[in-house]
Amino acid sequence: MQQLEFHLRGEFIELNQLLKLTGVCDSGGAGKALVAEGVVSVDGQVESRKTAKIRAGQVVGLGDVRIRVIA
């Protein structure tokens, strides 16, 4: 399992942008497609909102990748 950390600079980041900025996918559009497929989870629950606001303390999962968002 691959563990990544993302240092949040503001109050939140949109889910599709987080996937792009961590290198999990090539673009925000590709991130939206992954969310639409139902393969992305936030805090263990499948997330269907492509632009869900991800805040510090949350964990985003995609396959064997876990992204921990920290302040």
Per-residue model confidence (pLDDT) at position 70: 97
pTM: 0.93
Full set of structural domains in the chain with CATH: 2-70 (3.10.290.10)
Residue 15's contacts (CB-CB under 8 Å, 6 or more residues apart) are: 31, 35, 40, 42, 47, 49, 50, 51, 52, 53, 54, 60
Q: What is the pLDDT of residues 11-60, one digit of tens each?
A: 999 999 999 999 999 998 999 999 999 999 999 999 999 999 999 999 99
